[in-house]
Amino acid sequence: MLTITQRLGHFHGRADDTVTLDFDTRQKARIKITTDNGCPAGIFIERGKPLLVGECLKSDCGKVIQVTGALEPVVTASTDDWHMFAKVCYHLGNRHTRLQVGERWLRFKPDHVLAELVSMYQLTTDDTPAVFEPENGAYQHGGHAHHHHD
């Protein structure tokens, strides 16, 4: 079993293997995995700093493992109307929804209430599975939110 304890960032060399992880799994610091080539491994990294798609990790024996994003259920909503796009981003942000934001498109985990909201603003929705890489958020330090309501 590989023991992975070191982060290399976006490594520019050739990785020895890859590991494909969904968004929720990339948030964990202690993970038992099997690499894409079938090698059992354990990831033991610092807490509070999620793994990033494209990031490379190094095992104790020197193997480089690159993190790739898994396709997962998401809703991708899009529009050609910047004004409607801005309104939807405001309303979803006001609900503290994890969002991946592109140019006039946004992506979130499936939720019928949120899907109805984006439809109400005439955004087109697509349920095709995709890699989910939401924004980190303005109040995040070291990779996870510190947000409290008084």
Domain ranges for the chain, please list them: 2-69, 75-126
**Tens-place pLDDT, residues 47-95:** 988 999 999 999 999 999 999 999 999 999 999 999 999 999 999 989 9
DSSP secondary structure string, 93-138? Answer: HHTT---EE-SSEEEE---HHHHHHHHHTT-EEE---B-------T
Domain 2-69 = CATH 2.60.260.20: yes
Q: What does pTM read for this prediction?
A: 0.83
- How far does Cα 35 stand from its chain's mean position? 18
Q: Looking at residues 130-134, what average pLDDT do you find?
A: 96
Q: DSSP label at 43?
A: E
Q: Looking at residues 119-147, what average pLDDT do you find?
A: 77
What is the domain class of 75-126 according to CATH?
Answer: alpha beta
2-69 against 75-126: fold identical = no
